[in-house]
Amino acid sequence: MFLDRIVATKKIEVEQLASTFHLSEAERIIANMPACLGFERALSTSRQRDMGLIAEVKKASPSKGLIRPDFHPVDLAKGYVAAGTDCISVLTDQNYFQGNNAYLTAIREAVNVPLLRKDFTIDERQIYEARLIGADAILLIAAILTKNQLGSYLEIAKSIGLDVLVEVHDRQELETVLELGTATLIGVNNRNLHTFETNLKTSEELIELMPAGVTKVSESGIAGVEDMTYLKSIGADAMLIGEYFMRQASVEQAIEDLLGSVGIGGPRL
């Protein structure tokens, strides 16, 4: 499975990170950093629209290869913000997504909306690293972590001010995450990571099992007004969109068109 290859690469990266990482030094620096921008709050309580939006900066992917050859992360992020996104997701994995930590840091310096560090977290040092490079939130993928790891990483992230988007793809993963009782922002990945196929019905199936009080995000394979209208109808609070925006000449125009569309724009309920 492709995810196993990604995790194997991450293990090597984490070994390299471990050779330079010092927890006390990281904690000292973080203590002097400005507070994080509230990622979950921006999605759930900004109340500017009836659907929250996380727009993703994504150059390439394992499933599609190079998506945006003309890739200028800071310009893309500025376009997203100008068009009114609530949050931005930045892929930082180099090997499979052609991302970079430096992209996130540069975007942090250029815009003032909450940033998700989109990567494959398998070690607690990556959580501190995310905070140090300027993220406001991290992703935890239930498919690659044990229940103990999920619980412990959620706690560590929160202790240093980060919000956590916990990602699930099936009922069993969701049940594990809900049993923890500490995940308040849960994303359903519509992409099957074995086949790379996307199916928005995955969101429908899992969102209806989530209790009130959880901010419900639908991720992957969202490509236009029809998809968003459907996600809204099944109770999604927010959506995460990468490739669809990356394939548009003007990401700013693409967001304006979506957010201005019938039933999506306007005040949140």
Ligand X SMILES: O=C(O)c1ccccc1NCC(=O)[C@H](O)[C@H](O)COP(=O)(O)O
Residues that bind ligand X (CB under 6 A): 2, 56, 58, 61-63, 189, 191, 193, 196, 219-222, 240-244
Contacts with 13 (C-beta within 8 Å, 6 or more apart), sequence order: none
Between CA 149 and CA 232 the distance in angstroms is 32
Assign 122 to helix, strand or coil: coil
Q: Is 56 part of the annotated catalytic residue set? A: yes
Query: Shortest gap between Cβ of 193 and ligand X (angstroms)?
Result: 5
Active-site position among 44, 118, 129, 203:
118
Measured from the CB atom, is 44 or 218 closer to ligand X?
A: 218
Q: Is 147 part of the annotated catalytic residue set? A: no
Query: Shortest gap between Cβ of 187 and ligand X (angstroms)?
Result: 8
Measured from the CB atom, is 44 or 220 closer to ligand X?
A: 220
Q: Is 158 part of the annotated catalytic residue set? A: no
Q: Is 167 part of the annotated catalytic residue set? A: yes
Measured from the CB atom, is 159 or 253 closer to ligand X?
A: 253
Taking residue 240's Cβ as centre, other Cβ atoms within 10 Å add up to: 26
3-state per-residue secondary structure call for 45-64: CCCCCCCEEEEEECCEECCC
Active-site position among 167, 173, 204, 243:
167
Q: Is 58 part of the annotated catalytic residue set? A: yes
Residue nearest to ligand X (CB): 242
Alpha-helical regions (H) of the chain = 2-20, 23-31, 39-44, 73-83, 101-110, 124-133, 147-159, 171-180, 201-207, 225-233, 243-246, 251-259
Measured from the CB atom, is 13 or 155 closer to ligand X?
A: 13
Query: Shortest gap between Cβ of 60 and ligand X (angstroms)?
Result: 9
Query: Shortest gap between Cβ of 55 and ligand X (angstroms)?
Result: 10
**Would you name the residues annotated as active-site residues?**
56, 58, 118, 167, 189, 219-220
